[in-house]
Copies of this chain bind each other. A is one copy, B any other.
């Protein structure tokens, strides 16, 4: 492989001059410039960023650590991150933790070793530990999608989970439902907890009894959604409305209801958090609180880039974006 020395030799200049021409830093006469560029072309010279990074202490690489890129919400977030980073000349490394703290730790170790310039983190559980780990290496970090315990100072981009959930449940209540069950995500994950809180507030305000059996906990995936729904279907009397804490849970629930011969929304109304990309449903069906996934990725990346290029000690920002209530068929008509 040709190095900067080879190019320098060929062009009859010193390596540093080549460096200057390539990076457009410092001066270079027109003639020198041309000679260098010719040599670069002839030798097919490709600068070694590793060496550059070692020297400059900048890798121009960001990392996005999330739970599962095949969840369409995160896929869209990832695309927002990638586009924004790429425009600014950064590349992005993706890691899937599958909600495992251990995987998260392992990935963070590797990423820090790689000297990534910054990390976008969807924390699996104990955000503070991970944030500490990252901060020890003086690496900027932005927490995405999930809330961190109060008192932890860190840039954050997330949605109004409590309010979005409240609005969804409120809608069901206004449509005349009284017994509404929630298929919740895992305890310990802030999005699950906030959505549960929104559900509880709506129920409380409407004066509906807080029945423990109407709250079921599971994971943010389809299998768990189906499982939770089967549990709910055992109840006597059955709830008439279901709040699924995310899109995958909602889909799983729908399948369980189909198995049981129930129609949605005629027999049971369903609302869920997180929209599905319009490309993915043959006919948009779910009533949802939609998060601006792409924008979340975008904003989080902008925040991170600002830390890198600007003031690293500026006060932390907490960007909380609104969800959009999108009413479709699954929530049904007002009950008689």
| Chain A positions near chain B (C-beta within 8 angstroms) | 1, 44, 46-51, 53-54, 59, 61, 68-70, 72, 75-76, 78-79, 82-83, 86, 91-96, 109-115, 136-138, 221-222, 248, 251, 254, 258, 276-283, 285-286
Contacts and interface: CB of A to CB of B under 8 A. Distances in A.
A96 B82 contact: yes
Contact of A75 (B69, B258, B278, B286): B69
Contacts of A279: 70, 221-222, 248, 251
B82 A78 contact: no
A89 to B, nearest CB: 8
A138 B94 contact: no
Given A113-B46, A113-B48, A113-B49, A281 B283 contact: no
A68 B70 CA distance: 13
A58 B200 CA distance: 53
B50 A114 contact: yes
Contact of A44 (B49, B136, B254): B136
A110 to B, nearest CB: 6
A86 B103 CA distance: 10
Instruction: Give the most central of A96, A111, A138, A221: most B CB within 10 Å.
Output: A96
A45 to B, nearest CB: 10
Contacts of A110: 91
Contact of A92 (B51, B94, B258): B94
A50 B48 contact: no
Contacts of A46: 109, 112-113, 137
Contacts of A285: 282
A284 to B, nearest CB: 10
A53 B49 CA distance: 11
Contacts of A82: 69, 94-96
Contacts of A276: 280
Nearest to A279: B222
A109 B46 CA distance: 8
Contacts of A254: 282
A277 B222 CA distance: 11
Contact of A115 (B49, B96, B111, B137): B49
Contacts of A277: 70
A78 B49 CA distance: 25
Given A282-B285, A285-B282, A115 B251 contact: no
A62 to B, nearest CB: 10
A79 B69 contact: yes
A281 B255 CA distance: 10
A94 B61 CA distance: 11
Contact of A50 (B1, B47, B54): B54
Contact of A138 (B1, B83, B92, B113): B1
8 contacts: A44-B136, A51-B54, A69-B75, A79-B96, A91-B114, A93-B93, A251-B280, A282-B286
